[in-house]
Amino acid sequence: MKKIIAITVIALVSQTLFSQGVFDKFEDQQDVTSMIVTKSMFKLMSKIDLSSNDPKAKEYLNMVENLENIKIFTTSNSGTAAEMKKTVDSYLKSSTALSELMRVSDDGKNIKFYVKEGKNDNFVTELFMFLEDANSKDSKAVVMSITGNIDLRQISQLTADLNVPGSEQLKNIDKNKN
Which residues in this chain contact other proteins in the complex, by CB under 8 A? 35, 37, 41-42, 44-45, 47-49, 57, 60-61, 63-64, 70, 72, 102, 104, 106, 111, 113, 127, 129, 131, 144, 146, 155-160, 162, 164-170
Q: How far apart are the first and last CA of the chain?
A: 49
Judging by DSSP bridges, how do beta strands 123-133 and 141-151 pair with one another?
antiparallel
Query: Phi/psi at 27 (nearest 5 deg)?
Result: -60, -40
Query: Which residue's CB is nearer to other proteins, number 92 or number 155?
Result: 155
Closest CA to 23 of 116, 143, 125: 143
CB of 4 to other proteins, least distance (A): 42
In the complex with other proteins, the residue whose CB is nearer, 131 or 141, is 131
CB of 63 to other proteins, least distance (A): 7
Contact residues for 77 (Cβ-Cβ < 8 A; gap 6+):
31, 32, 140
Cβ 7 to other proteins shortest distance, Å: 38
Looking only at the bridges linking them, the beta strands covering 67-75 and 98-106 are unpaired
For other proteins, give the closer residue by CB, 40 or 96. Answer: 40
Min CB(125)–other proteins separation in Å? 15
